[in-house]
A and B are shown apart, each in its own frame.
Chain A
Amino acid sequence: MSMDVTKPAETAPALQTPLARVRGTGPAGHGAGHWWHERLSSVACLLLYVWLIVSLLRLPALDHRGVTEWLRDPLAAVPMLLLVLASFWHLKMGLQVIVEDYVHDEGNRFLSILLLNFAAMLGAAFAMFAVLKIALGGGGG
């Protein structure tokens, strides 16, 4: 009987890809998806924060008028909305990994992740509402 010693006996034939093997695994229960989204959002944050820092340093004034006039421009408001989305997406995933690493009790972990997700959505909603109010609010602000 010939046997390939480089392959474990239980390995399924080539139909199963490496991705299929990591799906549903890991402490979060969904394999590499979380990891990938964390990387994706990190690159988005990198680009958007370089934009934010350069924009703020170039603004003539950081007072109320200077900031709201700047955010009324779609070329500032849209990247700012994306920045808020990318930031809260990234921080939600980062904090969730910390919770998954250190909170071992199933109940506490579930509750922590629930509250963390709600807090991230709340923060993102407030920030995005504020940007939209300035951008679409006309003269008032």
Chain B
Amino acid sequence: MSATPARPLSPHLTVYKWGPHMLVSILHRMTGAGLATFGAAALVWWLVAAASGPERYAEFAGWATSWYGIAVGVGLSWAFFQHLLSGLRHLVMDIGAGFEIEANKFWAVMTLAGSILLTAALWLYIVMVRGA
């Protein structure tokens, strides 16, 4: 798109009152970008390390179970659940449902609550049942 400076721009993001649906919308893009880069890199590293033998795999496992590896893992799992839930919300909206203001806001908040809950449940399971 070539910019035409003389043309007035329509008021965009700044004219709207901030709401949970806007946060969920931009989080969907941000978590997607995070998963597409760091998440994909972690997936490739894990699989290539497994294919390259026990030493390489031990390198990966050492990194993944370090405190910063676990921090990245918690972040990626939250991003995954957030992207999954807001993605499901988008699929519902794609068929034309869920646009009423109250329902739209409610499900936006539910994706935020759900992603935190699922992340907590996953890591609780890992720590309690699998012993980290």
* Chain A residues with a Cβ under 8 A of chain B: 27, 39, 42-43, 46, 49, 53, 57, 62-65, 67-68, 71, 80, 84, 87-88, 91, 94-95, 98, 104, 123, 126-127, 129-131, 133-134, 137, 141
Contacts and interface: CB of A to CB of B under 8 A. Distances in A.
A104 B3 contact: yes
Q: What is the interface of chain A mostly: helix, strand, loop, or mixed?
A: helix
Contacts, number: 77
Contacts of A46: 84, 87-88
Interface stretch (B11-19, B27-35, B99-107): B27-35
A91 B125 contact: no
B25 to A, nearest CB: 13
B53 A141 contact: yes
Given A91-B36, A98-B33, A71 B50 contact: yes
B57 A127 contact: no
A130 B51 contact: yes
B120 interface: no
A127 B44 contact: yes
Contact of B84 (A49, A68, A80, A91): A49
Contact of A130 (B47, B84, B122): B47
B5 interface: no
The 7 closest A-B pairs by CB, nearest first: A91-B36, A130-B51, A64-B57, A130-B47, A133-B51, A64-B54, A130-B48
A91 B35 contact: yes
Interface string B50-69: 11111001100100000000
B3 A67 contact: no
Contacts of B52: 130
Contacts of A57: 125, 130
B122 to A, nearest CB: 8
